[in-house]
Structure 1
Amino acid sequence: MNDTAHGITTGAVARRLGVSPTTVRSWDRRYGIGPAARADGRHRRWSPEDVAMLEEMCRLTSSGVPPAEAARAARQVRPPAVRDRGGETAGGPPAAALAEPAGSATTTPATETARRTTDGSGLPLGDVRHECRGLARAAVRLDGPVMEALLRAALAEHGLVAAWEEIMAPTLHAVGRKWESSGDRYVEVEHLLSWHISTALRRAAVTGPEAVSAASPVVLACVPSEQHTLPLEALAAGLAERGLPTRMFGAAVPAEALDAAVRRSGPAAVVLWSQARSTANHALARHVAGTAFGVRGARTAPLVLLAGPGWLGRTPAPGMVRPTGLREALGIVSRLYGGTGEDEARVGGTGR
């Protein structure tokens, strides 16, 4: 007889869902998301109805719903005869024990902290929006379609600034910290998450008003040896939302190429991104700030924005500013084009 007649194993259902077997077993123990029957009374065997319940659990947690709440909703997928058998889910704890409140007698502070910090994704998230947790879970599962949907929703609901500062960036930082602490693991998670965030930011950039072609552009570039471009992509999207012209040169721009780009484009501002002090090139920044262009008698030089944590530790030289984040950078550049810098609320959405 085919084994599927009695349900599939935990390992098989985990592969189908793209989660680890440990996660499936944990959901069973902690939230009662278990199979309706067990082989020999011990080994979990998952029926099609059980798998449908787990798929709903994955969908809800990926959208940011807390696991206990998602479990309560997911259990409704199974037929009532199975769901309400004696007020207990087969293979799981009584329904009254499925959602333990914080600080209950069976929940220690250490356990509650661990749940709040990782929340099922395995990433050190800390105190963040629930959308951030959903994005993290989808990233760990390498669930591209869910990541795309969550990013679209975040940008639509919260606006670019809040979506970047409170959802995208915290998730990226958590993946980076996990990668650094676990050897070569999670590299694929960071790459896929970065690609989807980049795609979402570029999509947001093209929906803005058409930039004035005759206006001096904003040059965006990473300093030589710097590969992190996503913060610049977020800024480019924000500038596009305001109809301001940009020239994005991307990662690790050689000094000679940056000099040529500045002289040829005559920018109003140059944003130099440095992620770490090891890549911050202060001599290059001074050179760019001192580059004058235009007709004789009306020559001008660009304002240089030292963006990123790599520039911390020194006072900006004349002709330079160091914005503390995306919102401030947008305000600074906007004022160069005659804006007041007070319309961040429109770009930033509701905030938190």
Structure 2
Amino acid sequence: MDDTVHGITTGAVARRLGVSPTTVRSWDRRYGIGPAVRADGRHRRWSPTDIAVLEEMCRLTASGVPPAEAARAAREVGASAAPDPRPGPGRRATAGSGLPLGDVRQECRGLARAAVRLDGPLMETILRSALATYGLVTTWEEIMTPTLHAVGRKWESSGDRYVEVEHLLSWHVSTALRQAAVTGPPAAPEAPPTVLACVPSEQHTLPLEALAAALAERSLPTRMFGAAVPAEALDAAVRRSGPAAVVLWSQARSTANHALARHIAGTAFGVRGARTAPLVLLAGPGWRGRTPDPGTARPAGLREAIDVVSRLYGEPAGGGDERTGGTGP
């Protein structure tokens, strides 16, 4: 069926905009923000012009405009502003932001729209609410990561556009993760820490920040050294802190340094006769395609990394959020 002629359903519109169908119906009843034509005189079918009005309503209410006032302004949006709701050839339908999100949570679509609008306060609100509702691991896997990937794909396919969107979104994700990390009880000061670091030349830190926050939630001690840690500095950090584990993040094969990983895995410390070495976790897609060396492990994702580190401290495994019951990778 041609959606341009017949329109699309309320459920499809709600998914497109990242709001609930109840909200769309409520706007129709209360403020007259509804379709001009109804199938069989009853069922709502939304045309491109109708959707343009709803998108303006979403934008205005998200920026704090009262709904009644936003509705009056949204109705002034002309048909020329309406986007084409049909997916292009070889492309899935996207959120109102124009980002290639696919089938994701409603909060993910809302976060994408806020990111494209450079609406920092709304991003902060969405992320804080998601963390409180779903927990850190689920929020990272099902809301933060899909939105970050969508922005990255949009940037790659649009030349130099959307760089500012990616930077602002990354900043707010990082801020939310760090705030989540300080909400748990403090770790035991005498316990050996887990060192987290990006290998030399690797700048992607957000996955490590997610792991650091998840471990902090479990009161496990961490030392986060961030992006592109020089080999000499990493060696010094390991020898000085005597960690139980060292997590090395590599985003691409070009940055994966297997010689450095073997060196860290073989670094012994402690008193003579009771010397020990850390377990090295090879985290990130850069390490794939090769069997891990002795003294190293390659977790499949955030949940498995949490489980591996937790067992080193005698904690029960189960990287999933307790409120969702999830434990899968």
The TM-score with structure 1 as length reference comes to 0.72
- Could you tell me how far apart the structure 1 residues matched to 2:183 and 2:233 are? 29
Equivalent position of 2:74 in the other structure: none
Once the two structures are superposed, the pairs formed by residues 199-348 of structure 1 within 5 Å of their partners are: 199-342=175-318, 344-346=320-322
Q: Provide the residue aligned with 1:172 in structure 2.
A: 148
Which entry has the higher C-alpha Rg, 1 or 2? 1
2:107 is aligned with 1:128: no
Q: Tell me which amino acid in the other structure corresponds to 1:74.
A: W
2:129 corresponds to which residue? 153
CA contact (8 A) 2:303 2:319 kept: no
Unaligned runs of 5+ in 1: 1-28, 32-59, 102-108
Decide whether the 8 Å contact of 2:111 with 2:147 is kept in 1. Answer: yes
Equivalent position SS for 1:224 = coil
Q: Which residue among 94, 97, 111 is the counterpart of 2:37?
A: 94
Equivalent residue number for residue 18 of structure 2:
64
Taking structure 1 as reference, are residues 62 and 255 closer, same or farther at Cα in structure 2, changes over 3 Å only? Answer: farther
Identity %, equivalent residues? 72
Partner of 1:14: none
Q: How many residues align?
A: 279
Q: 1:219 aligns to what SS in structure 2?
A: strand
For structure 2, list consecutive stretches of 5 or more residues without a partner in the other structure: 1-5, 9-13, 48-84
Match of 1:294, as an amino acid? G
Instruction: Give the whole-Å Cα distance in 2 for the aligned partners of 1:229 and 1:238.
Output: 14
Q: Pick from 165, 172, 197: which aligns with 1:189?
A: 165
Q: Give the whole-Å Cα distance in 2 for the aligned partners of 1:62 and 1:158.
A: 22
CA distance in 1, matches of 2:124, 2:117: 13
Structure 1 residues 178 and 115: alpha-carbon distance in aligned structure 2, compared to 1, 3 A threshold: closer
Using structure 2 for the length normalisation, give the TM-score.
Answer: 0.77
Kept after mapping to 2: 8 A contact 1:221/1:249? yes
**Residues 161 and 349 (structure 1), Cα distance of their counterparts in 2 relative to 1, 3 Å cut:** farther
Q: Which amino acid aligns with 2:111?
A: L
Q: Secondary structure at the match of 2:223?
A: strand
**How far apart are residue 195 of structure 1 and its match?**
0.6
**Residues 143 and 332 of structure 1, relative CA distance in 2, 3 Å threshold:** same
- Alpha-carbon shift at residue 340 of structure 1 (Å): 2.1
